[in-house]
Amino acid sequence: MRSTVEVLDDNRVKVSVDIDAEEFEQKLDEAFRKLARQVRLPGFRPGKAPRRVLEARLGPQAARGEALSDAVPEYYAQAVNDHDVDVISPPEIDITGGAEEGPVSFDAVVEVRPLISVTGYDQLKAEVPSPVPTDEEIDQQVDQLRKQFGELAPVTRPAIDGDTVTMDIYGTYNGEEVEGLTVDDYAYEVGQGAVVPEIDEQLRGSKAGEILEFNAQHPDPDEDGLLRFRILVKEVQETVLPDFDDEFAQEASEFDTAEELRTDVSDNIARAKRANALASLATQVGEQLAELVTDDIPDALVDAEVQHRLRTLQMRLASQGIEVDAYLEAIGQTAEEMAEALREPALQEAKTDLALRAVAAAESIEATDEDMDFELAMLAAQVGQTVDELKSSVFAADESSLKGVRLDARMRKTREWVLERVEIKDPDGNPIQRSSLNPDNESDLPPNTIESQTT
């Protein structure tokens, strides 16, 4: 097989392929064997009729159309791979020779990913939450842990938020008792807002023995009337928290001292804040990269991203046992409306991708063997295999797919290159070092976390 590529206008190329008659004979043999399995001839078992008999019975052209239909896509794919043509849409194929006999030739005109240039990618700025835990945040987490081991004790003072009120509650609507709003000895934490806001408003400042009667807005917006409540406050209790000491740490955790437990709480908050800040950084950088792209984006790229997002949604719904039609009905959208709603974020993602490719080209960023090893390790972890198992089970059968892995590694490296050069500040204007957002162990991150957030 011989192939050439000619650059056309409008982000298109023409891939021309020539196949010698001798080489195409192998495809004809395969086509005749396929026909032999489909055609019943007297005296021959299915699949056993020789080619010469089939040619005599069906004609010499019987298998040529079948061979062309099967072989042309294979030759096209090989030519695209040989010339590293970055196609983004199905080709328009024209058989230019060999439709009836002899050598075969064809042209394939296909749209390719545009090559663009961007500037300003090394001057991006972002504002992210501080990754450093405050004493207040640590105290709140410690108090939440203490609350799990707290004990209720009655008080004579008026109820405040956080107190537990034991009450008899009677609720009616249009004079009729409402099921679920009439309960005796109901323990309720003031301030949690679990029923209607008016209940918390009335319970604040109440004491044991008081009777509260009031109206409240119905939580169902389709109902116009008011709910009527009558509440007997029977007891007010506060939560008494245990002392935060070594004894508590040993009871509530695997740590021996309160200091060790507090340090662990601080570390957990820091990890969460770093992840939050990193996600915010990646999102902002992705948006800013997209804004650098002023070129028109091919519809094929946007359409492909829309379809990718739809497939991802379908898989996520299927994993939860939810039918797509049921989901669409629940959100009040048609499939067409959903696809249209996805076009804008798909366009933004296509722009970000093109911008990153432009950065990689401008800065001569390439994936090294170490980058490839890291990318393969990430893929292997996703499918529960070792790198060697992945290579033997997937890439041995399709070596061209390794090009895709190398591209992924290059894009990952480019994203990190951009992120390292962003000017980062917290909401108070204090500088934040990019390295301070790194996780304790990057291998603990889900695969493609940074990539999906950035793009």
Q: What is the DSSP string of 175-219?
A: TEEPTTS-EEEEEEETT--SS-HHHHHHHTT--TT-EEEEEEE-S
Strand partners, 92: 109
Scan for tokens 């790229």, then name that residue.
Answer: 301
pTM > 0.85: no
Q: Residue 72: its pLDDT value, please? A: 94
User: Parallel, antiparallel, or unpaired for β 92-97 and 104-111?
Assistant: antiparallel
Task: Write 3-6 long-range contacts (CB < 8 A, 24+).
Answer: 3/75, 3/78, 3/79, 3/82, 3/83, 5/79, 5/83, 5/85
**What stretches in the chain show pLDDT beneath 70?**
32, 35-62, 394-400, 440-455
Gap between the Cα atoms of 75 and 83, Å rounded: 12
Q: CATH 3.30.70.1050 in the chain, residues?
A: 2-111
User: Is domain 151-240 classified as CATH 3.30.1240.10?
Assistant: no
Longest dimension (CA), the chain: 106
DSSP structure string for 18-83:
EE-HHHHHHHHHHHHHHHHHH---TTS-TT---HHHHHHHH-TTTTHHHHHHHHHHHHHHHHHHHT
- Give the burial class of 441: count Cβ atoms within 10 A of its Cβ; 0-12 exposed, 13-18 middle, 19 or more buried: exposed
18 CB-side CA count, 13 A: 6
Q: Residue 427: its pLDDT value, please? A: 94
Q: Which CATH number fits domain 2-111: 1.20.1630.10, 3.30.70.1050, 3.40.640.10, 3.40.50.2000?
A: 3.30.70.1050
Q: What is the pLDDT of residues 278-291, one digit of tens each?
A: 999 999 999 999 99
CA 150, distance to chain mean position in Å, is 40
Scan for tokens 């957002």, then name that residue.
Answer: 437
User: Parallel, antiparallel, or unpaired for β 423-425 and 125-127?
Assistant: parallel
DSSP structure string for 393-444:
IIITT-TTHHHHHHHHHHHHHHHHHHHHTSEEE-TTS-B--GGGGS-S-GGG
| 56 φ/ψ angles, rounded to the nearest 5 degrees | -65, -35
Q: CATH 1.10.3120.10 in the chain, residues?
A: 258-454
Cβ atoms of residues 122 and 420 within 8 Å? no
Q: Residue 112: its pLDDT value, please? A: 96
Q: What is the pLDDT of residues 120-165, one digit of tens each?
A: 999 999 999 999 999 999 999 999 999 999 999 999 999 999 999 9
Gap between the Cα atoms of 197 and 231, Å rounded: 14
Q: Residue 447: its pLDDT value, please? A: 36
Q: Residue 331: its pLDDT value, please? A: 92
Q: Residue 453: its pLDDT value, please? A: 40
Pick the closest to residue 159 from 241, 234, 228, 214 (CA basis).
Answer: 234
Strand partners, 186: 167
- The architecture in CATH of the region 258-454 reads Orthogonal Bundle (1.10)
